[in-house]
Chain A
Amino acid sequence: MAKARILIVEDEAIVAVDIQKTLQKLGYDVPAIAFSGEEALKKAEELHPDVVLMDIVLRGQMDGIGAAQKIYERFGIPSIFMTGYSEELLERLNILQPLLYVIKPVEINELTTAIDTALKEA
């Protein structure tokens, strides 16, 4: 089975590239990085990833939660949130099902577990 395709949405390029390289090393297909919610929607439509790795704080009007909701509604693609420890956003995240998140800075072990769960649920 081919490894899943993942879209990374993260406004810090270096952090995003780090995650991209790490995931690629593990065999995942990470074709693109989006830096804003709007860009994420566009790229999700173009690339049809299996799962989106979504930062919550983004540049532009849309935040990660809004972007994830739209992507799920339009394309049925689940998102894994990358969040800090005590983000109050966790409460808002609760409204999203399925809720998947990893604590930032992202540990690769945690991340792969989350991706596997996301793919299974989907």
Chain B
Amino acid sequence: MEIKVEGQQEKQKITLIAVLLAGSCFLTYYFHQFLQTGTVFTHLFYIPIILASLWWKRKGVAVALFLALFLLFSDTILREYVLTANDYLRACMFVTIGVAVALLSERIAKTQEKTAHLNKVLYAIRNVNQLITKEKDRDRLLKGACDNLTQTRGYYSAWIALLDENRDVVTTAESGLGKDFLPMANLLKGGTLTDCGKKALGQTEVVVTKDPLSTCIDCPLLDQYRGRGAMTIRLEHEGKIYGIASASTLIDFLSDEEEQSLFQEVAIDIAFALHNIELEEKHKHAEEALQKSEEKYRSLTDDVLDSSSVGIFILDSDFGVVWVNRALEDYFDVKRDDIIGKDKRQLIRERIKDIFENPDSFAHTVFTTYDDNTYIERFECHVLPYGTRKERWLEHQSQPIQSGLYAGGRIEHYYDITTRKQAQDKLTASLKEKEVLLKEVHHRVKNNMQVISSMLSLQSQHITDKASLEMFQESQNRIRSMALIHEKLYTSEDLAHIDIASYIHSLTHQLITTYHTLASRVNMDIAITDIFLTITTAIPCGLIINELVTNALKHAFPHQQKGTITISMTPSNKDSLILTVSDTGVGFPEGIDFRNTTTLGMQLVTSLVEQLDGTITLDRSEGTTFTITFRGGVEYKRKNIEHGKSTDTDR
């Protein structure tokens, strides 16, 4: 369309010039032929001359030449009388004016062209700048920049090569060259820089190649540069060189400083954009690396938590559930996703009823620690089976989180102690079984002794001799005193120790029933508390008391005499016991050595005291007092405190 308009205008111009020329020719002819006198009116001639020179510049000068020659020709042919110097002068004038106008017009046109070109370049720069602010992808930025530089026809072609730290080409972009750039791209990627590129890397200013055809014979783009030159510049920001950019434009524009500085500006802008992209990439990489390491750490923590056989709750400072591990999901048959983020108190209120055997006690214990800001230590809870949930015994503990993201929160552990608990139960059961067995043995022993006692009793029913009968009775009593030890053992809580006070009460009751005639006049005073003896000590000890009390009952209170028998047992030192059996009776006969009597009772006492590593003394000053001291030979216990040597107990 524009071309058509231009064509039409061109025709009109030619027509107009032709008409004006025709007019000028006629005017010359008219003056020279008809008037013959005077000077040709040539002022009109300047119109076609100026117009032609304006429109067609140097070519337009032809019109001036034509008119000059025509005037001189006409002068020579048609005016025979006069040859005035005027016409020569005028012809010269025509040519001078024509040339002057043509030169002037040419100059104006060039300035206009240059301004238009610079405008295009500016427009391109604007577009590049706009692109820079938007584009975050390096390759698209480079391609877009090249496109912008050529699209506005500011430059014929443009290409950019990016370099790494080693000055090796990383990537290239171009516009306006297309396939023709391939050899250049290959050359660059192959590690060879163009001469202009090498030069550009070494300087901040634009490298101008005005005549590539003769200076850049090796350049693969040579064919593309016919009639054009190139500007090449490094892309540099804050000392870092990102690459080189090159653009081709008319050779005429190349030397223009404005042109160069605009191109430099583009290069600075692109370098800045590359710098920003690089920063962003670095930032992104750092962020990615951080995220990756965080993920790694997180997954590691999760793996560790999940592989643990301890059920774990992690709570934040508001008792919100932050995390639960797999073991916990398994123990309570809950799903992590249903629990994380929920309030732990509410979970306890809503869920535990069907989980624990004693939900109220559990809730109370846990809530108390929440309210008081304390922590749970070894709280055992019994998880009941339901669906896929197994029955378990768990030991619950909690501890504070001191630092980090959840500081102020707490970690709650649930240790599976089911196996331990079962083993414990088994052990308890087994112990119970053994206890029952031991009780049965003691019961059996007691029964057997009763049978022996009954046998002696049956045997003695045929005896009429009083002394013999008494001997049988005493034997029976001795057996019973031993049987009583076994009875005390199997009826007490502690199967290893005998409460000696209770034993002596029963023993003396038995004896006084045997000697029932004395029951009303002899008082029994037993002053023993808190002494527990083992069976090995208790049996000889019981026999000693049996003999001494029997002795007192038989001999101390003749002739209806009243009195008291006192038995006491007191610990004296750390590991010794003092047993006294005294009576307020007639007193042990003078002149009789109790260690050397013929009576079986006193012989037994002496032997048993020796067996227990003790000493026995007799005090006859007031009634009869036997004092027996067991030194270290007796193991005894007072209110759960062990005394004495255990080494001597097996004797």
Contacts and interface: CB of A to CB of B under 8 A. Distances in A.
Nearest to B479: A105
A116 interface: no
Contacts, number: 55
Interface residues of A, number: 21
Contact of A18 (B457, B487, B510, B514): B457
Interface residues of B, number: 25
Contact of B458 (A18, A57, A84, A109): A18
Nearest to A88: B491
Contacts of B457: 18, 22
B453 A85 contact: no
Contact of B447 (A12, A25, A87, A107): A12
B450 A104 contact: yes
B513 A87 contact: no
A85 B491 contact: yes
B32 interface: no
Given A18-B458, A107-B510, A110-B513, A85 B451 contact: no
Interface string A69-109: 00000000000000011111000000000000001110101
Contact of B502 (A84, A86, A104): A86
Interface string B451-466: 1011101100100000
A41 interface: no
Nearest to B483: A105
Nearest to A24: B461
B487 A84 contact: yes
A13 to B, nearest CB: 9
Most buried by B among A15, A25, A57, A109: A15
B451 A25 contact: no
A17 B487 contact: no
Contact of A15 (B450, B480, B484, B488): B450
B179 interface: no
Interface in B419-452: 443, 446-447, 450-451
B491 A21 contact: no
Contacts of A12: 447, 450-451, 454
A17 B446 CA distance: 18
Contacts of B443: 57
A1 interface: no
B186 interface: no
Given A85-B488, A85-B506, A87-B491, A107 B458 contact: no
B177 to A, nearest CB: 113
Contacts of B446: 84
B624 to A, nearest CB: 26
Most buried by A among B454, B455, B457: B454
A19 B453 CA distance: 11
A2 interface: no
A107 B451 contact: no
B491 A14 contact: no
Interface of A: 12, 14-15, 17-19, 21-22, 25, 57, 84-88, 103-105, 107, 109-110
Leading 5 A-B pairs by shortest Cβ distance: A18-B454, A107-B513, A86-B491, A15-B454, A18-B457
21 contacts: A12-B447, A12-B450, A12-B454, A14-B454, A14-B458, A15-B450, A15-B451, A17-B454, A17-B458, A18-B454, A25-B461, A57-B443, A84-B487, A88-B491, A104-B450, A105-B453, A105-B454, A105-B510, A107-B513, A109-B516, A110-B513
